[in-house]
Structure 1
Amino acid sequence: MSRKVLGLDIRADSLSAVLVKGSLRESRIAASLTVPIDATGGDPGGLPAALEAVAAAMDLQNADCVVSVPAALFSCRNVFVPFGNSKKIRMVLPYELEPHLPYPADEMLVDFAILDGSEDRGETEVLTVAVERQRLAPILAALAAVKIEPERVTLSGFAAAAWIGRNLEPDQTALCLDIGETSGALFVVAGARVRLIRTFPLPADPAARGRAVRSHIRLTMGALNELSAAPKPPAAIFLTGSGIAGMNLEVLADALPVELKPADLTRLLGVPHDDDAGAWDPLRMDGALALVLAEIEGLESLNVYRSQFPGRKIISRHRENLVRTGVLAAAVLILMFASVLIQSTLLSRRVADLDQQIASVFREAFPDAKKVADPYQQMQINLQELKKSAALPGEALSTLRSIDILKSISDSIPEEIQVVLDRMVIGPETILISGTTAAFNAVDEIKGHLERISEFKKVTISSANMDRTGKEVNFQLKVDL
């Protein structure tokens, strides 16, 4: 599934925007742009105009947005808490930080990252950042003016430091230095995590800025060496940020005990960019690119802003597809209902036809029935009565079976009389016997012998006719029981 993400790295003097189209196969830079911010336009300066320029230059429809704001706006601290549950930490952290902050806890936006520790040891180290709501409010208002609601808001340079940390060896330590025109941030990265953040002001003059950066690096490295639980000494210092322009990096490198490396995330992470994506300046663009890649890859990041209505954004973004899906679903439901209704009507007609056929069969089988209410039930009752009457045909047959009647007939007819009995129908009061014999007088003899059976009241010759060959006589006898 493809996704479009916009990264906005907001600085005091410029806005860097990077638009990335991500898919399961790769992520490509589709557009990039840096817009200067006129600081004379009031607080937050010319940010609204810069955002309008980005919105006009890029296709931001259905694009998610992640934002970083100057690190100088944040207060960053490492604190220890007596538990490791993130929910508990989030509840108590504002009040834990309040004595160290110049503003009340309810006026600050706070986020944190758990570094080390466990409840078994009784303490957990937490990296915290806090920003005043009033400082962030104008930036959010400017974003809302161009219909951008960010997925996350973090401090500049943090995402880039996190990506650099992920590409270090597990036991390596590095410093990531993000330099702006008037402020900077130093990130200590160890074990693939940002473990310490320092922010500081910088002078506008490039030479003075270089001396100030060198001083802050030395102070940070000295502080790390004095900590008992400090990570290994840093192996390199990675530079990013537009404030590097004009600085003498050779002089800075010679004054530091570790290697100095300008960062380039496109090369480090292998991110391609389209031909029409615009000129690429890694010092200005890496911050925005790191934000986008962190959002696409789900990289853990500090976030002081959480949308109150994430579901509304999803509905707004996919409204057309949702409406189309809803129409199709409604059409399918209507068709299903129509199909069920048609099948029900056809089955009802089929049942009515079968009821008529059952009633017709019942009337044919039992013409004496006066009223037909439930032909199936009535037929069952009548058949049961017939079975009872057939099982008990009368006093003469109360103890006789069909096989006994056949034996009595066979015993009564002498062997010298040639006779073949073709059919015998036994009823409750009569027996019909059909067969063939050699002559008409043989029929009379058979009738006389059958009359001697005690169970037979009367034997009558119903018919006696010569067959077509003239050699045999077909006869039928009726026996009254």
Structure 2
Amino acid sequence: MSRQILSIDIRNNSIAAVVLNTGLKSSTIEACAQISLPEDIPEENRLGAGLAALLQHGIPSNATVVASLPADRTIYRTVLVPFKEEKKIRQVLPFELEPNLPIAVDELVIDFQRNSDQGKTGLLTTAIDRHYLEYIMAAMTAANMRPQLVMPGDFPLALYLTAYCGKTDERAILLNVGTRRTTLFALKDKSIALVRSLASDVASEAGVEALALKIRQTLTAFADSDPDGFTPKTLHLSGPALNAGASARLAKALDLPPQAVDLRPSAPKLDAATLSDQWHPYIFDNALAMALIEAEGRPCPTFHRSSSPVRKYWTTYRPYIRGPAVLLAVVLLLSLAGVLLESHLLKKSVDQVNAKAEALFAATFPQSRRVGGDVLEQMKSELKKAKSNSIDPGQTVPEVRTIDILFQLSQLIPKEVDVVFSRLVLGNDGLTLSGETAAFNIVDDVKGRLEKSDLFKQVTIASADMDKGGNKVHFKLKIDL
């Protein structure tokens, strides 16, 4: 499913925006723009005016918005904590930072980034003035831009660069050069180990030398405090104030091989061919990094995050829920295994009973063919058929067998008697015997002979009629069994 992300890189004198369309297979840079903040209006209105001008450049406001604040507004500190649970870290972090902060900790919004080796470098914390953050949020809300994430300035670019440190040296520095400030990032073991914002002016040779001196002093102090030391091998360069001359002077002053940062070729699943004429990596790379972080869900320190209460609860209590959740999953799996085993044993028992029933059916009715369905019902049906030898199968099976009735008839009526039986019906109310003979007295004779049988309780002539030709007498006898 595609999604549109608007990332806004806010600086002290300009804003840069990138619109990224994300999809399952690839992402495309839809638009980009840079706006200089007007200097002839009050400072509190400059950002609002810049955002309004940004919308006039065709930048959509209905996309998912992420933003970063000026890098020099963020306070960075590195602290050590004796535990890893996020809830405990957030509880003690203000007390750990308070002695080293220039303002009261209650006036700050604080977040942190875990480093790759917490035992050595601890946590890289970020903090920003709460009132300044409220000013930014109010200005963006007034422009109908409600950011989902608000990140530290220049940090997304450094964070995204560390994701591809396998292609570069493990020790490197990133300089994000602005018109008045330069942000220094020390990259170590695919993580950000140090961040400092330094005053700079790279337009002149003296300004570059002054900046290089500050960088060397900062890195020397950092190397002395790190047990493994820190010797960078590569200089990554970016920033809106960077140009070819400044890059060469910085590389020469720091005595490091320079490498210009350009995220478009290195970012996975990104169509780098769009907006080639308008794209300037030094200006838009940080905004692009923000959009990619939001699209890929990479962890990053934030000063504001709009998320559902469920997600926030899960993030906070995930370490405490993980153990019971695993135990619950094991219990459910064992219960399911028990149910499946019991079902298998029960099915096996049912199959054995069915096999015995099939064998009993085959032994009892060898002449019958087994058909599908319940073997018990078919066995009942076969028993009914075995008991019923009635000529009329529609009648109820009597207690006296038909073969016994026929035997009595053959014994009581000799062959000399001129009589022919044409129909025998056996039902609940007895036996009905139909036939024809030559005279009425023969009917009386047959009745008398049948009454001598112990099998027949009573014999009644139900009807006796001469046919139209006068040759035959048709009769019907009612016999009670």
> TM-score range with shorter-chain normalisation?
0.7 to 0.9
- Aligned partner of 2:241 in structure 1 is 243
Structure 1 residue aligned with 2:128, among 131, 142, 160? 131
| Partner residue in 1 for 2:341 | none
1:84-118 deviation digits (Å, cap 9, x = unpaired): 11222122212221121133323211111111456
Deviation of the 1:127 alpha carbon: 0.7
Corresponding residue number in structure 2 for 1:414: 414
Partner of 2:171: 173
Shift of 1:265: 2.1
SS of alignment partner, residue 147 of structure 2 = coil
Give the TM-score, by structure 1 length: 0.72
How big is the shift at 1:400? 6.3
Quick check: 1:173–1:231 contact (8 Å CA) kept in 2? no
Structure-2 separation of matches of 1:263 and 1:246: 13
The answer (yes or no) to whether the contact 1:420–1:435 under 8 Å persists in 2 is yes
1:374-417 deviation digits (Å, cap 9, x = unpaired)? xxxxxxxxxxxxxxxxxxxxxxxx99666555443332212322
SS at match of 2:422: strand
CA positional deviation for 1:300 = 2.2
Q: Which residue of 1 aligns with 2:284?
A: 285
- Tell me the residue number matched to 1:153: 150
Identity level (%): 34
Deviations 1:286-312 (A, max 9, x none): 11111112211222221111227789x
SS across alignment from 1:243: coil
Give the letter aligned to residue 154 of structure 1: M
Partner in structure 1 of residue 294 of structure 2:
295
The amino acid of 2:464's aligned partner reads S
Q: Deviations over 1:144-183 (max 9, x none)?
A: 1111111211122111112222222276211011121221
Q: CA deviation at 1:82?
A: 0.5
In structure 2, the residue matched to 1:98 is: 98
Counterpart residue number, 2:73:
73
Q: Once the 2 structures are TM-superposed, how far is the Cα of residue 204 of structure 1 from its aligned partner? A: 8.3
Counterpart residue identity of residue 417, structure 2: I
Q: Which residue of 2 aligns with 1:345?
A: none
Deviations along 1:332-359, one digit per CA (max 9) or x if unpaired, are xxxxxxxxxxxxxxxxxxxxxxxxxxxx
CA offsets 1:9-48 (integer angstroms, 9 cap, x no match)? 1111111111121212222221111111124533345111
Aligned partners of 1:260, 1:235: CA distance in 2, in Å? 10
In the alignment, which residue of structure 2 is the partner of 1:372? none
The alpha carbon displacement at 1:467 in A equals 8.2
AA of the residue aligned to 1:463: A
Q: Which moved more, 1:414-423 or 1:105-114?
A: 414-423
TM-score (ref. length: structure 2): 0.72
Decide whether the 8 Å contact of 1:413 with 1:446 is kept in 2. Answer: yes
In 1, the alpha carbon distance for the partners of 2:306 and 2:38 equals 28
Q: Mark the runs of 5 or more structure 1 residues left unpaired by the alignment.
A: 312-397
- Alignment correspondent of 2:211: 213
User: Of the candidates 208, 212, 233, which is equivalent to residue 231 of structure 2?
Assistant: 233
Aligned mates of 1:221, 1:480 — CA distance in 2: 123
Is there any run of 5+ residues in structure 2 with no aligned partner, and where?
A: 311-397
SS in 1 for 2:300: coil
SS at match of 2:165: coil
* Aligned partner (choices 189, 194, 202) of residue 187 of structure 2: 189
1:22 aligns with 2:22: yes
Distance 1:169 1:453, change over 3 A: closer
State the distance in 2 between where 1:400 and 1:407 align. Answer: 12
Distance 1:426 1:58 in 2: 99
Whole-angstrom distance in 2 between the partners of 1:180 and 1:444: 136
Aligned to 1:200: 198
Q: Secondary structure at the match of 2:184?
A: strand
> Using a 3 Å threshold, how does the CA distance of structure 1 residues 9 and 426 change in structure 2: closer, same or farther?
closer
Contact 2:176–2:184 under 8 Å retained in 1: yes
- Residue 56 of structure 1 corresponds to 56
What is the rounded CA distance, in whole Å, between the counterparts of 2:274 and 2:460 in structure 1? 117
- Identify the range of structure 1 (194-203 vs 10-19) with the bigger mean alpha-carbon deviation: 194-203
> Structure 2 vs 1, CA of residues 8 and 209 (structure 1 numbering), >3 Å: closer, same or farther?
farther
CA contact (8 A) 1:31 1:274 kept: no
Task: Please name the residue that 2:461 is paired with.
Answer: 460
Q: For the residues of structure 1 that align with 2:95 and 2:420, how far apart are their CA atoms? A: 117
Distance 2:408 2:468 in 1: 27
| Contact 2:199–2:211, Cα closer than 8 Å, also in 1 | no
For 1:74 and 1:461, the matched residues in 2 are separated by 119
Residue number in structure 2 paired with 1:82: 82
Counterpart-to-counterpart distance in 2, 1:399 and 1:7: 96
Mapped partners of 2:430, 2:5: distance in 1: 99
Structure 2 CA distance for partners of 1:474 and 1:124, relative to 1, 3 Å: farther
Mapped to 2, the partners of 1:437 and 1:229 lie a distance apart of 131
What aligned pairs does 1:365-404 form with structure 2 within 5 A after superposition? 404=404
Change (3 A) 1:69 1:458: closer
Q: 1:232 to 1:442 in 2, by over 3 A?
A: farther
For residues 155 and 428 of structure 1, the distance between their equivalents in structure 2, rounded to whole angstroms, comes to 100
After superposition, the C-alpha distances for 1:45-80 in whole angstroms (9 at most, x for unaligned) are 511111001112124153111111111111101110
Q: How many residues align?
A: 391
Aligned residues: CA RMSD: 3.2
Partner of 1:436: 436
The answer (yes or no) to whether the contact 2:114–2:122 under 8 Å persists in 1 is yes
1:144 and 2:141 aligned: yes
The amino acid across from 1:86 in the alignment is E
Q: 1:462 Cα shift?
A: 1.5
The DSSP-based 3-state class of the residue aligned with 2:140 is helix
Paired letter, 2:129 = E
Farther-moved stretch of structure 1 (264-273 vs 51-60): 264-273
Question: Quick one: distance in 2 between partners of 1:259 and 1:243?
Answer: 19
d(CA) in 1 for partners of 2:247, 2:430: 130
